[in-house]
Amino acid sequence: MKIRLAVMNEKTSRIPRFYEKTLQQRLGLLEKGGFISAEEHKFLLARQGGLPFNVANEMVENAIGVLELPLGTALNFLINEKEYVIPMAIEEPSVIAAVSHIAKIVRQYDGFKAQSSDPIMIGQIQVVGVPNSSQAIQNIENAKEELLTMANACDPKLISLGGGARAIETRWLEGDDHRPMLILHLLVDCRDAMGANLINTMTEKLAQRVEDLTGGSVYLRILSNLADRRLAKATCRIPFEGLGWRSFSGKEVAEGVQIASEFATADPYRAATHNKGIMNGISAVCIAVGNDWRAIEAGAHSYAARSGKYGPLATWHVEGDYLIGEIELPMAVGIVGGTLRVHPTVQTNINILNISSADELGEVMATVGLAQNLAALKALSTEGIQRGHMSLHARSVALSAGASEVEIDEVVDAMIDCGEVRADRAETILLSLRSDKNEK
């Protein structure tokens, strides 16, 4: 793992009361803070960021439209001493507020530290019916350089950027009826690309030569989403004094979070929900930057099960007067190619992040996952999540019941007070609010 050098800048992602502003004011603040250009400001304000139908039509089959998601920005993130405003595309309320809240705490204590391994992806070639296993392995061993050269010939640009096929490994597996399968792993440094197309091209290219060398038949040639050579890791260290919340002391919160973490380590049922929350954060950034969130989800969950037992991607423990959190997971993301080139808003989102490599993007995403996890565990191990969740949910319920901008706060408060956040309740509250006003 390498630690990215700190980039000192004068920007700050700490923008107080951002959530209270109008769209115009928010974009103005982002421009003033150096996170978007004047052009991007105009572009976002005019809501020109949607995918044009003609582009969507080139991307998938049988297109009939495009589907929009809310795009928000997580604030307050200080990662490796660099300020980040982080775009997140997500339909679920609370997630953006939750990660921004944790980032605001962590930035007071040196911020998050993040690092990543080299961007190495794995391509798999499955060979069956190998007549002589030791001879096959020997032949592959002798031909490694030749195979790597063949793979690298598929993408001279990648080589010029410092990437390329690095190694070949072999494994034996058993299929049904103990049928032996030889699996070749081609390890490729993908630099700033996610790498799926690249790897699939390379593995297909090698197939015939692998059959010649092994005497077997090649079946699958495809990348693995268990990208366990391309990891990102993030950590944070918060003193108890930073964690006090409502009636709970910082020590109580820290111990609650540690106990919640132990639950996820002991129980796959809990670990699944713990990790779902983490992916709320990670996938939202992934979508905003036009990356393949299914690949990230598959990598994350398979990595969580790598010991044979499904476990948490992030863990927390108390050390002295500190709560320490750590997350590690595969991060097969790219900042070149794919959707990045065609979606008008994706490039703006990458600009807002101000990242210079796919590794850095992975580090930011891992950090957001860690922040989300702390927000969830902090709430779950103290007052529960419903209160915070419900106030945001109540806003959309009030809106869908027909509350206007001036009515919405009153309707939300009334629903929360009576503990009934439902459309029928919102309608009743609205009726009585309007009749009270008419009577006055």
CB 169 within 8 A of CB 187: yes
We find the least distance from the C-beta atom of residue 310 to ligand MEV, in angstroms, to be 15
Question: Which of 39, 58, 92, 409 does the annotation list as catalytic?
Answer: 92
Phi, psi of 209 (to 5 degrees): -65, -35
Active site includes 292?
yes
Total of chain residues touching ligand MEV, rule CB under 6 A: 9
Q: Does the footprint of ligand MEV cover residue 393 (CB under 6 A)?
A: no
CB 76 within 8 A of CB 100: yes
Residue 190 or 279 having the CB closest to ligand MEV = 279
| Assigned token pair, 61 | 């089959």
CA end-to-end distance (rounded Å), the chain: 68
Taking CB under 6 A as the binding criterion, the range among 102-110, 162-170, 276-284, 394-402 that sits at the site for ligand MEV is: 276-284
Q: Who contacts 157 (Cβ-Cβ below 8 Å, separation ≥6)?
A: none
The site map against ligand MEV for 61-100 (x = CB under 6 A) is -------------------------------x--------
Helices 358-380 + 250-266 axis angle, to 10: 110
Residue 92 or 141 having the CB closest to ligand MEV = 92
Query: How many CA within 13 A on the CB side of residue 1?
Result: 17
Q: Does the footprint of ligand MEV cover residue 273 (CB under 6 A)?
A: yes
Question: Which of 276, 321, 409, 424 does the annotation list as catalytic?
Answer: 276
Count of all residues that appear for the chain in the document:
440
Taking CB under 6 A as the binding criterion, the range among 106-114, 238-246, 269-277, 301-309 that sits at the site for ligand MEV is: 269-277
CA distances from 263 to 249, 260, 270 (A): 21, 5, 7
Residue 15 or 365 having the CB closest to ligand MEV = 365
Beta bridge partners of 121: 188
The site map against ligand MEV for 348-377 (x = CB under 6 A) is ----------------------------x-
* Closest residue to ligand MEV in the complex (CB): 277
Active site includes 10?
no
Amino acid (one-letter) located at 309? K
We find the least distance from the C-beta atom of residue 227 to ligand MEV, in angstroms, to be 24
Active site includes 276?
yes
Q: Does the footprint of ligand MEV cover residue 107 (CB under 6 A)?
A: no
Residue from 4, 274, 301, 393 touching ligand MEV (CB under 6 A): that is 274
CB 416 within 8 A of CB 390: yes
CA distance linking residue 255 with residue 323, whole number of Å = 8
Q: Are strands 113-116 and 231-239 parallel, antiparallel or unpaired?
A: antiparallel
Taking CB under 6 A as the binding criterion, the range among 175-183, 219-227, 273-281, 351-359 that sits at the site for ligand MEV is: 273-281
DSSP tag of 80: T
Residue 43 or 310 having the CB closest to ligand MEV = 310
Q: Does the footprint of ligand MEV cover residue 280 (CB under 6 A)?
A: yes
Q: Does the footprint of ligand MEV cover residue 276 (CB under 6 A)?
A: yes
Taking CB under 6 A as the binding criterion, the range among 107-115, 268-276, 305-313, 331-339 that sits at the site for ligand MEV is: 268-276
CA distance linking residue 84 with residue 371, whole number of Å = 13
Using alpha carbons, select from 369, 287, 331 the residue that is nearest to residue 119: 331
Residue from 385, 392, 416, 433 touching ligand MEV (CB under 6 A): that is 385
| Assigned token pair, 88 | 């997140």
Q: Does the footprint of ligand MEV cover residue 312 (CB under 6 A)?
A: no
DSSP tag of 61: T
Active site includes 343?
no
CB 383 within 8 A of CB 246: yes
Active site residues: 92, 276, 292, 389
Where on the chain is the footprint of ligand MEV (CB under 6 A)? 92, 273-274, 276-277, 280, 376, 380, 385
